[in-house]
Amino acid sequence: MIHIFIFLSIYSYGQKNKGYYDRVKLGEGLSLLSERYKGQSDSHVSEANLLDFIRKEIYINEPIYDSIAKLAVLSNYYELSWRYVEESQVQLKLLSHYSEYLSEIDLEHHYRKLGEAFYNTGNYNLSIEFFNESLMYIGEAKKDWALSRIGLAYMNLDHIDSSLVYYRRALEISDDMGLKLSHTNSLGFLYFLSGQYKLSELYYMEALNLY
């Protein structure tokens, strides 16, 4: 089993939420989860066993938010274990049952994670759908990454024209030099695939200038 590096987003479940994540206990829960199943094949660890273990490590004392916390930790665990099919199933369950209790920040997070999970399983159309959902809740300054992921999904579907649209949008709003370089390089590749070699050369040269 992989050694899990703990990375937890800050969760704040809106004004309705009187009980919120104990981040220390979440971190401890994931660490203990990793230690408990170390050496076992991930595919042999059932969701029921994982939930039973999580249930003993996370306490919120409000049933709805307790359920949200368990599902969020479980999806995080599956992601870090590269079990993307299971991750997508848990994320879908979380969003379908508890979206009304999530803040816009959390909705963006879970839709984005679902888009990424579907991308990792090769379900590119569903990936596009959920990345687009995440764009409804994300600030303009942070949209370029999600736009580029949609562009990448379209590229994997061989929808080059659609991919170009999203990568151009991503480049237009990006203010991060690393992402600008990535988007510019991707545009060079896409124009090459579409046979527009002059534009391809232009964007590749621009990418070189950004190094």
Interval 42-62: pLDDT, tens: 555 666 666 666 666 555 566
Q: What mean pLDDT, rounded, does the chain reach?
A: 80
pLDDT of residue 117: 96
Contact 190, 166 (CB under 8 A): no
Q: Which is more confident, 169 or 176? A: 169
Q: Measured between alpha carbons, how far is 187 from 200 in angstroms, rounded to an integer?
A: 7
Q: Which amino acid is at 190?
A: L
Listed in sequence order, the residues at least 6 apart from 177 whose beta carbon sits closer than 8 Å to its beta carbon are: 210
pLDDT above 90 coverage of the chain, percent: 48
Indicate if the pLDDT at residue 84 is higher than 90. Answer: yes
pLDDT of residue 175: 86
Tokens of 155: 């590229």
Place of tokens 């997070």: 109
Q: Which amino acid is at 31?
A: S
Q: Measured between alpha carbons, how far is 131 from 64 in angstroms, rounded to an integer?
A: 26
Please tell me what DSSP assigns to residue 42: G
Place of tokens 């939930």: 51
Q: Which is more confident, 186 or 102? A: 186
**pLDDT, tens digit (0-9, with 9 covering 90-100), for 140-157:** 667 899 999 999 999 999
SS3 sequence, 139-183? CHHHHHHHHHHHHHHHHHCCCHHHHHHHHHHHHHHCCCHHHHHHH
| Domains of the chain in sequence order | 1-130 (no CATH), 139-211 (1.25.40.10)
pLDDT of residue 9: 37
Tokens of 8: 């937890």
